[in-house]
Amino acid sequence: MQLYYSPTSPFPRKVRINVRELGLEGDISEIMINPWTDAALRDGMMSSTGRLYADSKRPETERSDFVMDRQRAAVHASIDALEAGISSLATDRPDIGTLSVAAALEYVDFRWPDGCFAVSDDLRHWMAGMANRPAMLATRYHLLPV
């Protein structure tokens, strides 16, 4: 198993701590990445999407253009990397990485339905195939009732 992690994120750290506590170091290959430049971390894409969305809802005087630009760039970089590697995204027996990609791309569309993040027709076609899987349908993003 491979674990992609950023040394600044608390989420993979929890996993890495448990790996060591359980003595599983030999079973897991840890691969350090930079979530701002390395698109291998799809959770980073989801985090950037969520942070950008949350910041966009703040009053303009409380927003940080630097932070918003950085989050936007991370989402764009992730989409660009997915476009370049679309041939490696299997749909017949998707693994956790492929399912994470599908969830991340749907999250971008959920938070930014205006299409401000361009996705190619090929990637949209792949997304449509993944979106019809029973697990994807059962866990679709939706707003909470008000």
| pLDDT value at residue 123 | 92
| pLDDT value at residue 50 | 81
Summarised one tens digit per residue, pLDDT across range 38-92 is 545 556 777 788 888 888 889 999 999 998 898 898 889 888 888 888 887 877 8
Overall domain count for the chain: 2
Same-domain pairing of 69 and 87: yes
* CATH code for position 55: 1.20.1050.10
- Parent domain of 122: 36-138
Same-domain pairing of 75 and 109: yes
When the pLDDT of each residue in the chain is averaged and rounded to a whole number, the result is 83
Q: What are the CA-CA distances from residue 66 to residues 11, 43, 52, 112, 133 (Å)?
A: 24, 21, 11, 19, 38
Q: How far apart are the C-alpha atoms of 115 and 108, rounded to whole Å?
A: 9
| pLDDT value at residue 121 | 92
* DSSP code of residue 91: S
